[in-house]
Amino acid sequence: MKGKNELSSVWLKASVIGSLWASSEIILGSFLHNAHIPFSGTILTFIAVILLVGSSRYWKANGIIWRAGLICAVMKTISPSADIFGPMISIAAEAFILEAVISFIGSNYAGFILGGGLAVSWSLFYKIINLIIIYGFNIIELYSKLYQFAIKQLNIPMENPWTLIFLLFFLDLIIGGIAGLIGIRVSQMSKNFPDEKFLASPNLKSAINIIPNNIDQKYSIPMLLFHITAIAAGLILLGNFSLWISSIFILSYVVVCIILYKQNLKRLKKPKFWFAIIVIALLSGWLLSNLNNNTGNSALAGFYLGVSINLRAFLMIIGFSSISIEIRNPVIEKWFKKKGMSQFSQSLEAAFRILPFMVANISEEKKIFKQPVSSVARLIKKADDWLERIEKHSTGLPLVFIIKGEKGSGKTTLLTKTVECLRAEGLNIGGILAPGYWSENKRAAFDIVDVCSGNSKKLCSVESNSNNVKIGNFYFEQEGLKFGRQALALEKVKSLDVCVVDEIGPLELKGEGWSNSLDEIFSGFKNILVLVVRNELIEEVCRRWSIQNPVLVEYGNIEDRKIANEIIHYRALITDEVPVEI
């Protein structure tokens, strides 16, 4: 039975998918925006459907898609943009539509194709709904008249203005269906790929820089209520009072919002914002004039209609931008936690922690545009490794690194250098090291070093003593064993960032040495554990302490700085700190 605060498997999977989706929005969305590629929203939804279908078929968990959409939507709050409310709704809606269709039709070709088609089509309806919310239903009249004027000039036999929208919907439906098919193919390819790890990436540092810092903003629940009330009041004024009264109220509100939120000012500085305002005002007067026998009253009425539409646009855009900022309020997050949404809150926290790694690995996929199917399949396979890591930590088990090798291969030397690198980065490290000493080209003795204090004692040697325990060619000192157990006491290591144990050997497998200490560590230590184990003992050690999927490293195949970076990166899963490259 799961503990009260333990994340369920479906929420764990959703956190990985949601983070992968969010990272694709960051990397690919930035590229499409900077390249000024049209239909970027449709392209991003197309990619999202591939990810969602591929991931859901790979992991086969009911309800995983809508959960991933909810997580990705909330992760949108890290964006420095003032306009996050609409995109958050759009992302969540895409996931809910896809999940609903699959639940109704089934996890089969028909369900994924139709679900993908409707999810991509949502971007069209979202744009229409968004325009109506911002500009009001008058925008429909403006569109209809512009459409009538266009077909009249072009002599096109499509008099119904909804014909064009239907054609666009049908096109999106086909594109989304293709995305669903590709998602199915991606899931099949992911299963055939060899296991891949999300290891340290040279792009991680730049990935962290891509992810914006939290906005320096004071939040207020009363201000959130104020914005909701102001929007409602502005709409009432526009519908029932003169244009002058409405203008004074709305423009005053806009000024207040600009003073309170600097992000709103950035929006008003964009040329395309004012371009849309001017075009709508001029089109309203010109179209109504041309379609009503060029009368002056029609032109003036059209101009006033354009001004009214633009006032509503000011109110809705600035108002919802302000609401988008206020909903980042930590008080709101705490409220959701109190209302029994701890599963969602924990999965969201996990998704944020692995986001830098997802971004770094997507940016490393250099073939993502040339070979998008195989690249996405590879990312899902890599994400499977992250899922294992998160699942392990969610159960309270430490993340385990094993430095392996033969006798005298340099395992302790590698671990010692790694400890030095980590300590230089300010990590709290403890545990034991066992440096060896040579005599006549043979191991003659080992000391035991308390990593925290730096103190040491003799552990074993080839010289016999009546009080010693013999294992192989060595006689172990009782004082040395006691000293090592004290260094590995749970009370001493449980607050460490990293605990190292050099090494686990035949003595421990017999229930002696550090065996009891390791039992306590595996039951009560939740951070990173680095073990030294000989090659021939790895399977037995993993079986004895139920170690699943450890990160295996070998002297000669990896540098100490590389291991230190890996440890720092994995530590991001269990702390709130952002990893930094050494």
The per-residue pLDDT string of the chain (582 residues; one tens digit each, 9 = 90 and over) reads: 344 445 567 888 888 888 888 888 877 776 776 667 777 888 889 989 999 999 999 888 888 999 999 888 887 766 555 456 678 888 999 999 999 999 999 989 999 999 999 999 988 888 888 778 777 777 777 777 777 767 776 777 767 778 888 888 999 999 999 999 999 999 888 888 766 554 444 444 444 444 444 445 678 888 889 988 998 998 888 888 888 888 899 889 988 888 888 776 666 666 766 666 666 666 655 555 554 444 455 556 656 666 777 788 778 878 877 887 787 777 776 776 565 566 777 777 777 766 766 766 665 555 566 677 788 888 888 777 777 666 665 555 678 889 888 887 788 888 888 888 888 878 889 999 998 888 777 888 889 999 999 999 988 888 877 667 777 788 888 888 899 999 999 999 988 989 999 889 888 888 888 999 999 998 888 888 999 999 899 999 998 988 877 888 876 655 556 777 777 767 755 554 444 333
pLDDT at 463: 82
Instruction: Specify the pLDDT at position 202.
Output: 43
Task: Kindly list the structural domains of the chain, giving each domain's residue range(s) and its CATH number in brackets, ordered by start.
Answer: 9-134+175-215+341-392 (no CATH), 221-326 (no CATH), 397-571 (3.40.50.300)
Q: 450 forms bridges with which residues in the sheet? A: 432
| Residue 182: predicted pLDDT | 93
The helix/strand/coil state of 405 is strand
Amino acid identity at 440: E
DSSP structural state of residue 451: T
**Nearest one of 538, 504, 540, 539 to 521, comparing CA atoms:** 504
In sequence order, which residues have a C-beta less than 8 Å from that of residue 306 and are 6 or more positions away?
A: 280, 281, 282, 283, 284, 285
Predicted TM-score (pTM) of this structure = 0.65
Nearest Cα residue to 308 out of 370, 356, 238, 367:
238
Secondary structure (H, E, C), 62-88: CCHHHHHHHHHHHHHHHCCCCCCHHHH
Which among 439, 519, 503, 431 has a CA at the least distance from the CA of 471? 503
User: What pLDDT score does 299 carry?
Assistant: 55
What's the pLDDT at 18? Answer: 87
